[in-house]
Structure 1
């Protein structure tokens, strides 16, 4: 099973500026949302029923102190360069309901005061570029879970992704593809090239590159030591698509097998056409992306896998480019389908 805090970075998969849905106050359809909000209005997400708000396409939303997961469960995703929630006050992530706040692809939360994450609630940060994703003028207090993900071919470096007046709380902080240092910065690991034979090492917080970055695997900070073996498979694509890729991965001995898989598609793909598949009992089945970490940014499509199963990814291009299709044809000749077979080492 995936950890609760790592499930919904993709949000509701709505695309279109500021999109509220379900139980929100102000209610969906209120002009507050279409006009970008104001600095005095309190937002409550998860009131009366589960609620969600997406901020994308470079849109900005302003509000006063607010609540994510107020009475019922609730969440927000802020994604895309220039997309921001400018919060004049404090925000509670999880009040009575469980709260989820996802920030990725250069989105940002600016809070003039405190940010608090309650028990059973989460802050999920997808890092694909050098950008600060959260700034709190007051304290960042974590009693829940903060998950930080290295996405795509992120350069090995130290990133300041969160700033706050102070950091406190007894909650957990998890990371994939790097570690959080003593200064609350994200140190992203370098890439280990897979050379075609079994790779035996500690995989904690490590990243593995396959075919010169066509696929990048980011491991959890507590993955532990073990063996990784990649082999090919000639299973056909589940549907007719411009892109189909994957690989067969066997893992032995790791204590945490959750991984971020990042596939390089390029920039010209229709995000709504991208599908993840699992091969079971001789058939392909499409996976609900709300059950994986799933995001398309910097040309990479990234998603989380837990362990076990056979996986593939398909996508359709927005703008056909002959050179790009030639590259895709080369990938397809690999005949790779992703198969994760995790085996926990016993004492």
Structure 2
């Protein structure tokens, strides 16, 4: 077994946007790192909260970017939501779908009947992201939920990353229905367990590693499932947000990008770092030393989380620490 991070686990549960790719481009180092993972026999699963695309579409997009992905390697929140419905409903039950055709197809595949309007008895409502969702769609779902239908949400991500910036995600639409119905949905996607459990089963993994860029979904989802996690800084999480993370949102490992998987475990695990000294003093963190800014961030997180966490004031002693904190945009 190799002493790098990749050699410690038997499968990678990889988030997509912000981790494997960013919009229409592969993330730095992602293609060769995932190729190496396959060559070394480490399972790969692409795990996405986005329910608007089918596994076939996701695999095709990944292949266009150079990842040579196979459909069975893709686990989506639409699949997880359909599985949750199948657990709660008898075959042939009626489900009102708010979302894309990909979600309709997954619900149909588990033996359930789909509709778009509340014009007759409805046993459940399932809600996933679609850029075409409008007021009328939410109104139909609202009526069904108020009438007692089971409500399942593919995910509750408030925003969706795009090339233009953060836009409203499925969670924003879920919030509208919460306000209108006073009800809470069963959540299938990260940070809830169904999607993560599905990916683990699909990979037949005994020791998987979750890799992602979001604290509230990827890292919190790993915590919920009792799995280790690597946070990469190629997506939405900023260094300041990581420092202030709640216990449920704290990864075991931190790297600039997926190439961190090929580095020794001792280098990427959050903890004390060579070349850096960090001291927690009340509400302040004092850093001194020189070296890799991401290594400093690991040391800062280790010291601050051990002190209780929260939002610290970060101070630098010396030019090396000042330059690193400026690159991290902390302080």
TM tier, shorter chain?
A: under 0.3
Report the TM-score, using the length of structure 2 for normalisation.
0.25
Structure (1 or 2) with the greater strand fraction: 1
- Higher RCO, 1 or 2 (CA under 8 Å, sep at least 6)? 2
- Report the TM-score, using the length of structure 1 for normalisation: 0.24
